[in-house]
Structure 1
């Protein structure tokens, strides 16, 4: 999957809300489809000196400079094991004039969920997770934590996570 079909660009439709699903660790996350530009394989990371640990580096993606953000680090999870192998996937997002790629453990599908399954963030979510989640959806077999893209990409003027 290299790009999201523009014909499915509205995040809310009559029979549900659409999210691009990703996994980080064992958790299923949703990213509102209207925020997703593309899904890509990460290659050729260029490190950024003095960047916060969440910033894995820069990627040249079809002529665009994309800042690669590690969602494991952003969520306070242990880093992926070195030599774990496999393809490194990212979800491309835009914020202002900048391009970002959220590095995730896996990319799922475009999922349409009924609006009535939406619930506020649970009060027991950890501080960092709660600050990055906008709400959740109850699915049949698990919870879908919806990421607040603006919060995930919020870095203060010193380059650190705000």
Structure 2
């Protein structure tokens, strides 16, 4: 079975999510900090009157934060009927993948990544890690 994944880059790695769960991709908008929230909660954003939680995917994946002078991109996705904004380094394109290309998460992945990765698609352009949106959007 084939499906389409919307892709984005975080720390040089390419990730994908089901394109049907993506509402929009846009430049980062101002965020309101959430006091006492976990570090990976980047704040709340106002998207045309709708308050949306922003999750810093770099921190959620156990990576170094983005440089202060760099503006992240936002991928707004639906998780359990709620919009969540994922902060990513850059937005990619939509790719067609087939189940025959899918494999379990590589053993070489760090523990933080293994918690949020469903598996990997082996594509001619390299690995595409399939992100588990529910796990990635969950904050402690």
TM-score clears 0.5:
yes
Distance 1:68 1:127, change over 3 A: same
Distance 2:6 2:33 in 1: 27
Aligned to 2:107: 123
Aligned to 1:110: 94
Cα deviations across residues 92-133 of structure 1 (Å, max 9, x unaligned)?
112235321000000011111222111111122111100100
Answer whether contact 1:133 1:146 (CA < 8 A) is retained.
yes
Q: Which has the larger radius of gyration?
A: 1
SS in 1 for 2:77: strand
Aligned to 1:10: none
Question: Any runs of at least 4 consecutive aligned residues in structure 1 with deviations exceeding 3 A, and if so which?
Answer: none
Written as runs of structure 1 = structure 2, the 5 A alignment for 1:2-151 is 16-84=2-70, 87-151=71-135
SS in 2 for 1:125: coil
- Structure 2-normalised TM-score? 0.93
Distance 2:23 2:61 in 1: 22
Between Structure 1 and Structure 2, which shows a larger proportion of strand residues? Answer: 2
SS in 2 for 1:128: helix
Answer whether contact 1:42 1:59 (CA < 8 A) is retained.
no
SS in 1 for 2:32: coil
Answer whether contact 1:72 1:79 (CA < 8 A) is retained.
yes
Aligned residues: 140
Cα deviations across residues 43-102 of structure 1 (Å, max 9, x unaligned)?
111000001101110100011101110110001110111113xx5311111223532100
RMSD across aligned C-alpha pairs, in angstroms? 1.4
- Stretches of structure 1 lacking an aligned partner (at least 5 in a row): 1-13
